[in-house]
């Protein structure tokens, strides 16, 4: 049973996004046809998750030409604004390049907006298909009815479809292979306790929220059978960037002999990154650590180090689930 809500929808020439910063207490939607408003939504995490960011950016670039004709300077302005929003999520740059290719081939067309919009819709529909393929390919990680631990958010809120790692969990639950899910709260912005919990509740999957630091204790008690998370960028050798705290889990799984998996579409694999050392890590504003919902919890003068992501070395990853198949360590994504 999938969650009954849409995180990204295009209707009446406007993009409709559920405002993820308001969840789970409010289901508020952003409706806009302004590319710069969508750029702000990506930047402010009103929409987040690598595949979802790519889909939103594709629609934004199309909408930028709703009332505009060909202009190289204007295109560059729009492209660069969208590209500057989140530096680690490779799907963003993949989607923008796909849109740029279509623009270059059709820039002097009289119906440029319609052509770009058609491509954005295609990117969205393809993501829906990829999510379903990942869920199907991911069923093989379950060899019994399992208790699963996950980090951050990887469901409908993070994609244009039904999710990456979350969709694998959901498909496992539908097939009687998942009994319970532990959702890391995922500090500092609580994507687990706010967003994953919201989706688990909508899907009717039994779950418990835990603090990020509780995972080790659960594993010691043998209460976790496997861990599955998503990824925002994967290097050719399988090193994977994901929400800060993911590397912690991979190390814990290695120590406790628990399988650690990643689910992500092929578009998350960056052929320009040979290893994780080539992946640029986004640093967030210190207010996300020193404040919660705008309420100070520490002194604003204190220094903060707040990377949005960390890199999990490929040797700690048992398998990577993609829309094109299931891959085991060691990984070599040169030909994929």
Active-site residues, by number, are 232
Asked if residues 41 and 59 have their Cβ atoms less than 8 Å apart, the reply is: no
The phi and psi torsions of 191 (rounded to 5 degrees) equal: -65, -25
Question: What one-character-per-residue DSSP string does 164-219 give?
Answer: SHHHHHHHHHHTT-EEEEEEE--TTTTHIIIIIHHHHHHHT--EEEE-GGGHHHHH
Tokens, residue 44 = 């402010």
| Distance, CA of 4 to chain centre | 19
Q: Which of 194, 309, 193, 191 is nearest to 243 (CA)?
A: 309
Asked if residues 223 and 210 have their Cβ atoms less than 8 Å apart, the reply is: no
Q: Which of 106, 102, 177, 191 is nearest to 139 (CA)?
A: 177
Pairwise CA distance, residues 169 & 334, whole Å: 28
Q: Which of 92, 29, 84 is nearest to 59 (CA)?
A: 92
Strand 309-312 to 240-243 pairing: antiparallel
């Amino acid at each position: 049973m999938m969650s009954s809500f849409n995180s990204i929808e295009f209707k009446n020439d406007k993009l409709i996004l559920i405002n993820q910063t308001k969840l789970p207490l409010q289901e508020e939607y952003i409706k806009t046809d302004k590319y710069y408003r969508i750029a702000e939504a990506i930047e402010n995490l009103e929409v987040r998750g690598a595949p979802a960011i790519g889909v939103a950016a594709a629609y934004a670039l199309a909408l930028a030409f709703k009332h505009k004709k060909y202009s190289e300077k204007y295109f560059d302005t729009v492209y660069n604004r969208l590209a500057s929003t989140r530096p680690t999520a490779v799907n963003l740059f993949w989607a923008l390049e796909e849109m740029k290719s279509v623009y270059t081939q059709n820039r002097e067309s009289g119906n440029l907006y319609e052509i770009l919009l058609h491509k954005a819709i295609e990117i969205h529909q393809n993501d829906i298909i990829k999510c379903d393929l990942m869920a199907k390919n991911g069923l093989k990680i379950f060899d019994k009815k399992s208790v699963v631990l996950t980090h951050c958010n990887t469901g409908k809120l993070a994609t244009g479809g039904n999710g990456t790692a979350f969709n694998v969990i959901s498909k496992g639950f539908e097939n009687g292979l998942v009994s319970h899910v532990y959702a890391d709260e995922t500090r500092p912005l609580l994507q687990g306790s706010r967003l994953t919990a919201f989706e688990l509740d909508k899907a009717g999957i039994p779950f418990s929220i835990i603090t990020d630091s509780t995972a080790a204790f659960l594993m010691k008690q043998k209460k976790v059978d496997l861990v599955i998370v998503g990824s925002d960028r994967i290097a050719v050798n399988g090193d994977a960037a994901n929400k800060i705290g993911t590397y912690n889990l991979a190390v814990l799984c290695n120590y406790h002999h628990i399988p650690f998996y990643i689910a992500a579409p092929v578009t998350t694999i960056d052929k320009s990154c040979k290893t994780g050392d080539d992946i640029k890590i986004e640093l967030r504003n210190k207010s996300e650590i020193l404040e919660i919902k705008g309420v100070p919890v520490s002194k604003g003068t204190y220094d903060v180090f707040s990377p949005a992501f960390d890199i999990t070395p490929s040797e700690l990853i048992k398998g990577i689930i993609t829309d094109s198949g299931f891959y085991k360590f060691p990984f070599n994504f040169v030909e994929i």
